[in-house]
Structure 1
Amino acid sequence: MAVIEDHSLFAESLEIALEMEGHDVRRIVLPEGGRSVHTLLPIIMRAKPRVALLDLDLGTYGNGGRLVEPLTLAGVNVVVVTSSIDRGRWGECVRYGARKILPKSSPLNDILATIRRITEGLPVMTQDEREELLKHWHAQVQEIQLIRSRLENLTHRESQVLAQLMDGRAVREIARMSVVSEATVRTQVKSILSKLEVSSQLAAVGCAHHVGWAPAGA
């Protein structure tokens, strides 16, 4: 069994509890300075785990959810143990093969019981639970598609302004850098807000970050 977790204390607690239950556990140590979660896959697979307890947020490695599908395809039973409360994100993990999603606030006995049922070949998620999480994922996918379609309606200049807002620049600084008046930039910002159907610069920046948007050529 593999524990893939960037918080050492939590990982060690799981390791100790599982070993006391009689499981052969290997905690996957994440090398410092990692940039891609996919570089962890060969490290995990060398442990030849039947079950993997996977965190969704792996520090500099990013989104652990991207490991769900390749681990599942390799025959590993993936149980996500996460502090994320984003049920759309949970649904995505289920979509790509996760057997169960458990919040880190779950009693330790719930995690142990889940592992026990998996090793006994028993189901760990009801059909209703699975469908509910997939419903959240589908809704999230539709939301992202809608935001992306709105972002595509921005002009080249509006895209540049939004990118500068995402970098934390104020309207005055954007105007100075672009050698235009503040009134011109404010008009462009107003157009951006209208096209994205949001009421503030902060919301516009949030939308762009939410869908991983970057201007063309960036």
Structure 2
Amino acid sequence: MAGATVRLKVAVSADETMTLDAVTVSLGDRGITVTSTASTGADPQDLLVGDPSAWLVVADLDDWGQLAHVRGLIRGVHLPGVALTTAPRGGLWGALLEAGAVEVLSALTDSDTIEGALRDAAEGRRGHTPAEVEGLVAQWHLLRDGRDRTRRLVHSLTAREREVVELLYDGATVAEIAARFGVAQTTVRTQVKAILRKFEVGSQLAAVAAYDRYLRPPRS
């Protein structure tokens, strides 16, 4: 690989300290200098210490808040960044590419490929073709629009309906919810029917699934 003998300087961020430590050791073993480390919720300036030429971010993207943090970090770092994620290839990859990542890879990617991606990023080469980026970003826009719709539906719930759907999501039964609030089960069933109507679904299971999409990006 061209430039492979040049010592690469990389900043690293991750959503867990143990991951940060493991990645730092792994890159160091390959002769890569880790100039700075920070969590995915850090100030982007924290990653610019030591004048890195590329940046590696490792994130699971298990909830919408985490995704927003990672996208904000990518936008703010202003370094060619490579992202590793457990999220399957699809809309969540597109979210990171739209934010400015030059390549997204599966968290199962081997070390040689990760190093190659970082070197390519440092030398101004992107890891995806324009067509790939366009397709993944389009998938992200569909995912984002679906989440926005679900958020509007959740916000249409009353405060008590919101409490009921949260308890259903946690696995509570109608009887348990009624006992918790000190009301008749028929009252809770009426609230559940209102939730189903507002969510435009036909069952409690579908309502719980819709609420899950409000909380977390789908993994497929």
TM range (shorter): 0.7 to 0.9
Q: Structure 2 residue aligned with 1:24, among 28, 33, 52?
A: 33
* Alpha-carbon spacing, 1:199–1:109, altered in 2? closer, same or farther (3 Å): farther
**1:48 is aligned with what amino acid?**
D
**1:114 is aligned with what amino acid?**
A
- Is the counterpart of residue 101 in structure 1 residue 110 in structure 2? no
Q: Structure 2 residue aligned with 1:148, among 130, 148, 151?
A: 151
- Is the counterpart of residue 63 in structure 1 residue 66 in structure 2? yes
Unmatched segments (≥5 aa) in structure 2: 1-9
CA positional deviation for 1:197: 3.1
CA distance in 1, matches of 2:61, 2:155: 31
Q: Structure 2 residue aligned with 1:134, among 132, 137, 141?
A: 137
- Is the counterpart of residue 125 in structure 1 residue 128 in structure 2? yes
SS state of the match for residue 82, structure 2?
A: strand
- Is the counterpart of residue 15 in structure 1 residue 24 in structure 2? no
> 1:180-214: per-residue Cα shift (whole Å, max 9, x none)?
2112212321331233133443442342243249x
Unmatched segments (≥5 aa) in structure 1: 31-36, 214-218
* Alpha-carbon spacing, 1:51–1:157, altered in 2? closer, same or farther (3 Å): same
Aligned residues of 1:11 and 1:27 also touching (Cα < 8 A): no
SS state of the match for residue 39, structure 1?
A: coil
Aligned residues of 2:36 and 2:46 also touching (Cα < 8 A): no
Where does residue 187 of structure 1 map in the other structure? 190
Where does residue 54 of structure 2 map in the other structure? 51
CA distance in 1, matches of 2:27, 2:67: 18
State the TM-score, normalized to the length of structure 2.
0.75
* Alpha-carbon spacing, 1:71–1:178, altered in 2? closer, same or farther (3 Å): closer
* Alpha-carbon spacing, 1:70–1:130, altered in 2? closer, same or farther (3 Å): same
CA distance in 1, matches of 2:204, 2:66: 26
**2:101 is aligned with what amino acid?**
A
- Is the counterpart of residue 205 in structure 1 residue 208 in structure 2? yes
- Is the counterpart of residue 90 in structure 1 residue 93 in structure 2? yes
CA positional deviation for 1:126: 0.8
> 1:17-74: per-residue Cα shift (whole Å, max 9, x none)?
2x1xxx32246265xxxxxx43354432334322111012389xx7266244444444
SS state of the match for residue 25, structure 1?
A: strand
The CA RMSD over aligned residues, in Å, is: 2.9
**1:25 is aligned with what amino acid?**
V
* Alpha-carbon spacing, 1:39–1:122, altered in 2? closer, same or farther (3 Å): closer
CA distance in 2, matches of 1:185, 1:86: 40
> 1:111-131: per-residue Cα shift (whole Å, max 9, x none)?
222222223223322101110
Aligned residues of 2:88 and 2:106 also touching (Cα < 8 A): yes
SS state of the match for residue 198, structure 2?
A: helix
Q: Structure 1 residue aligned with 2:12, among 3, 6, 9?
A: 3
CA positional deviation for 1:97: 0.7
> 1:73-104: per-residue Cα shift (whole Å, max 9, x none)?
44211110112216221111111111110112
